[in-house]
Amino acid sequence: MDWRWDFTFDVVLPKMWQAAGVTIWATVASFAFALVGGLILMLLKTNRSAWISRPATELIEFIRATPLLVQIFFLFFLLPEIGLTLPPLTTGILAIGIYNSALCAEVYRAGFQAVPKGQWEACTALNMSTYRTFRDVIIPQSLPPIVPALGNYLVAIFKETPLLSFVAVAEIMQVSKLIGAEYYRFTEAITIAGIFFLVMSLIAAFGIRLVENYVKRSILH
């Protein structure tokens, strides 16, 4: 294999450095969007009124049933049509965020339902408000199953970000393709992109384990 270190250090790494930042930012922003969006979708889906829960359920099914790449293209080409022109990166974050909101909604729902019925009933018997019931009793107890599942989605989102190269976001995959096209050398750039994903995934998995243990220790005694 023909690997050139000077090319790696002089050309590839400086360009990839910034691209790595874009990838990380896209991951973190999409994940944050999905965390909040998922909670909202779950609350809508479990709403007592069928006028709210039915459309929410349909929306979740629709989002889950369509490939993410299609949704990225859809938003990328559709939003400008309705007069909303966003930078490609923002559109991409929106698309990945919405897609994963639908997945996270299910995680929340499963987590909340795993809290024993007796806990909900104790809250009613103690005349607690819905807000207090969730904040003080249900959410803390559903974190141990929810946290690892959400952590998996963080890693999944990270691995989904290369899809943004299809709409020319300068994330790490796009930049390595560009380097390859410009210098007719793909080996170094693609390899480094791969190593970057591997290392970051390992770091994320380790971080998630730490959070998981912390949650377990502080909630389950």
Partner 1 sequence: MTHPMIQFDKVLKAYGALQVLKDLDFSVDNGEVVSIIGPSGSGKTTVLRVLMTLEGIQGGTMYVNGEPLNKMNVDGQLVDASKAHIRRIRSKIGMVFQSFNLFPHMTALDNCNESPIHTQGKSKAEATEESMRLLEMVGLAEKANHYPSQLSGGQQQRVAIARTLAMHPEILLFDEPTSALDPEMVGEVLEVIRDLAKSGDYTMLLVTHQMGFAREVSDRVCFFDGGKMVEQGKPDDLFGNPQHDRLKQFLSKVLEAG
**In this structure, which amino acid lies at residue 187?**
T
Member of 141, 161, 174, 176 binding partner 1 (CB under 8 A): 141
Q: Is 137 an interacting residue with respect to partner 1 (CB under 8 A)?
A: yes
Instruction: Tell me the C-alpha distance between 35 and 205, whole Å.
Output: 18
Phi, psi (rounded to 5 degrees) for 44: -65, -45
Nearest by Cα to 92 from 19, 153, 161, 24: 161
Span of 2-10, 33-41, 67-75, 135-143 interacting with partner 1 by CB under 8 A: 135-143
Span of 12-20, 34-42, 52-60, 125-133 interacting with partner 1 by CB under 8 A: 125-133
Count helices and strands in the chain by DSSP H and E runs: 10, 0
Q: Is 220 an interacting residue with respect to partner 1 (CB under 8 A)?
A: yes
How many residues in the shown chain lie near partner 1 by CB under 8 A?
Answer: 19
Helix (H, G, I), strand (E, B) or coil at 1: coil
Span of 62-70, 123-131, 150-158, 195-203 interacting with partner 1 by CB under 8 A: 123-131
Alpha helices in 114-219 (DSSP H): 117-125, 130-132, 139-160, 172-183, 187-219
- Asked if residues 174 and 14 have their Cβ atoms less than 8 Å apart, the reply is no
Span of 50-58, 68-76, 200-208, 213-221 interacting with partner 1 by CB under 8 A: 213-221
Member of 127, 184, 206, 210 binding partner 1 (CB under 8 A): 127
Instruction: Tell me the C-alpha distance between 198 and 203, whole Å.
Output: 9
Member of 69, 110, 140, 177 binding partner 1 (CB under 8 A): 140
Give the number of other Cβ atoms within 10 Å of residue 151's Cβ. 18
Member of 40, 129, 205, 213 binding partner 1 (CB under 8 A): 129
Footprint of partner 1 on this chain (CB under 8 A)? 116, 118-119, 121-122, 124-129, 132, 136-137, 140-141, 219-221
